Amino acid sequence: MPKFVKRALLLLVVIAMLPVSLYGCTGDTEPTPSTVVSDSGSEPTAAQSGELPNGNSVTVGIAQDLSNLDPQMAATAGIREVLFNIFEGLVKASPDGSVIPAVASGYELSEDGTTYTFTLREGVTFHDGTPVTVEDVVYSLERCAGSENEGTPLVSAFSVVESIAAVDDSHVAITLAQPSLEFLNSLTAAIIPKDSGPTITETMTGTGPFKFVSYAPQDSLVMEKYDGYWGQGARLDKVTFRIITDTNALVVGLKGGTLDLVLHLPNTLEREVKDDFTVLQDTMKLVQALYINNAVAPFDNELVRQAMYYAIDVDEIIEFVCGGAGVATGTSMYPANQRYFMPELAENYPHDVEKAKELLAQAGYPDGFEMSITVPSNYTQHVQTAEVIVEQLKAVNITAALDLVEWESWYQDAYRNHQYQTTVCAIAAEDMTAQEMLVRYMSDHRKNFISFQDEEYDQVMTQAMASIDEEEQTRLYKRAEEILNEKAGSLWIQDVCDLAVMNPALEGFTFYCTYVLDMSTIGYK
């Protein structure tokens, strides 16, 4: 069958199965700049005229409920991008992927590379107006290191921390058990008031440009400009994040004026909004994959996983799901992480049905098998990807059934408790480090939800994280990526195309190289 005919038929299948929900996720080329795809040239509606009927405020449509608002425990990228506006660390992310001073004004690193001494910025206050003290900083960092979690770090990078101590009223020293080239990036972890950990999700007291107002589960989160912010303050007075999992409702909200900004809209819907709104395009800075539970038969067989990789057509998935705008990855690193991204790995499993059948026969499954793909139902592009994979696997006699579940169910059952066979989702980094995207696949790591076990991988990662030679560390991390690809630990697909759709009366939206939504720069023209 000619490929264009096959694609047409597959498109009909996918359209027939298409849900009405929005995509989301669970951080050596130049960072992709924000690109204005279209600006409205038509007569604006009342909601788009630039008038401020609700004052200097905006309403943002998001797909994922904000189930855990503890800033040091936020497990998903969708939550972290919202909390970025309320909480800050000693440093914070900048658009190019580096970190810049925040609660700290600067730092010094000891000659042996093990002790960071931070100088606290003068004039930083929490949202209740109280000054940030060195005691608050020490408490926050110790909590990240596990002081309130039976010694298990809330932030995994803090596992290398040996001690945290106040030097004086304006300096804090963090000593590591061994030098770490990447530890600085983890210090974006939130600084919160001393002893507030048990109640932080109620008080939500941070130091960011916005302060928390209210949260209604499965409905909305409201924040307001903090007038006492130490830096350049927010342009908007109020931001409401409206939780809406139905794509149609999001588009209707934009057109009706009840929504001013929608994040992560599938680019297949660009035609619905491009004539009346500002459409900004980038990629999501994450890796979408068919993640595989390596501990469950038949997926504990490397030949089966490799066969499945040959059976799927990544280019076809990207074409149907992202209109060709996604970027194939082949491993767990996204393109914006320039130093470590290896585009050649995406070429290692070309679509080859006969090769897939051969490997399945070698693995003992000449007639294929049945399997399930668990997908969070509110993420359209994940559901679409799973639907295409179901059709592609039929060619090698693998019968895959979709298991669409609510986000909370997916997070608890599949991600936390590993109760799944395969799942389509996306992994994003908390910071711009290779370690963040790779450490989770070490055998004993608590985030290793695919149960990947490989002795060489563990050894390479241990060496990489301990290395203080930048070139050596880069080489080792790339070898780790190669192992994941060779073993087909999962079927890594793409960094998904990302659209932000905005009322044309607004300006100042910026795509970051990590999963961040900075509302402080957005305002009315």
Beta bridge partners of 224: 211, 238
Instruction: Using the predicted structure, report yes or no on whether residue 145 has a pLDDT greater than 70.
Output: yes
Q: Give the residue extent of every domain in the chain.
A: 35-67+208-228+237-283+498-524, 87-201, 286-495
Instruction: Using the predicted structure, report yes or no on whether residue 29 has a pLDDT greater than 70.
Output: no
Question: What value does the mean pLDDT of the chain take?
Answer: 89
pLDDT at residue 189 in the model: 95
For residue 31, whether the previous peptide bond is cis, meaning omega lies within 30 degrees of 0, is no
Mean pLDDT of 177-197: 94
User: Under a CB-based contact definition with an 8 Å cutoff, are residues 304 and 368 in contact?
Assistant: no
Instruction: Using the predicted structure, report yes or no on whether residue 366 has a pLDDT greater than 60.
Output: yes
Instruction: Using the predicted structure, report yes or no on whether residue 196 has a pLDDT greater than 80.
Output: yes
What tokens appear for 182 in the block? 């990447």
- Compare 21 and 219 and report the one with higher pLDDT: 219
Domain 286-495 fold:
Dipeptide-binding Protein; domain 3 (3.10.105)
Let me know if the fold of 35-67+208-228+237-283+498-524 is the same as that of 286-495. Answer: no
pLDDT at residue 54 in the model: 61
**What is the band of 357 on the pLDDT scale with cuts at 50, 70, 90?**
very high
Residue 336's nearest CA partner among 498, 509, 521, 502 is 498
Instruction: Using the predicted structure, report yes or no on whether residue 23 has a pLDDT greater than 60.
Output: no
Mean pLDDT of 390-408: 96
Instruction: Tell me the C-alpha distance between 519 and 126, whole Å.
Output: 19
pLDDT at residue 76 in the model: 78
What tokens appear for 73 in the block? 């425990």
Instruction: Tell me the C-alpha distance between 379 and 384, whole Å.
Output: 9
pLDDT at residue 399 in the model: 98
CATH 3.40.50.1000 at 87-201, yes or no? no
Q: What is the separation of C-alpha 197 from the centre of its chain, rounded to a whole number of angstroms? A: 24
pLDDT at residue 456 in the model: 98
Mean pLDDT of 36-44: 37
pLDDT at residue 204 in the model: 97
pLDDT at residue 78 in the model: 84
Instruction: Using the predicted structure, report yes or no on whether residue 25 has a pLDDT greater than 60.
Output: no
Beta bridge partners of 523: 507
Residues whose CB is less than 8 angstroms from the CB of residue 422 and which lie 6 or more positions away in sequence, other chains included: 290, 291, 292, 293, 299, 371, 372, 373, 374, 400
Read off the pTM: 0.80
pLDDT by residue (tens digit) across 256-285?
Answer: 999 999 988 888 788 899 999 999 999 888
pLDDT by residue (tens digit) across 75-91?
Answer: 678 899 999 999 999 99
For the ranges 118-122, 308-312, 367-371, 466-470, which has the lowest average pLDDT?
Answer: 466-470
Mean pLDDT of 345-372: 98
> How many C-beta atoms surround the C-beta of residue 203 within 10 A?
14
pLDDT at residue 26 in the model: 45
Residues whose CB is less than 8 angstroms from the CB of residue 48 and which lie 6 or more positions away in sequence, other chains included: 40, 257, 276, 277, 503, 504, 505
User: Under a CB-based contact definition with an 8 Å cutoff, are residues 372 and 400 in contact?
Assistant: yes
> How many C-beta atoms surround the C-beta of residue 229 within 10 A?
20
For the ranges 31-35, 292-296, 378-382, which has the lowest average pLDDT?
Answer: 31-35
CATH 3.40.190.10 at 35-67+208-228+237-283+498-524, yes or no? yes
pLDDT at residue 51 in the model: 53
pLDDT at residue 290 in the model: 98
Share of the chain above pLDDT 70, in %: 90
Mean pLDDT of 139-167: 95
CA distances from 165 to 105, 140, 212, 259, 303 (A): 18, 12, 29, 46, 51
pLDDT by residue (tens digit) across 313-344?
Answer: 999 999 999 889 999 999 999 998 888 999 99
User: Under a CB-based contact definition with an 8 Å cutoff, are residues 192 and 135 in contact?
Assistant: no
Residue 477's nearest CA partner among 448, 434, 436 is 434
What tokens appear for 520 in the block? 């402080």
Mean pLDDT of 83-104: 95
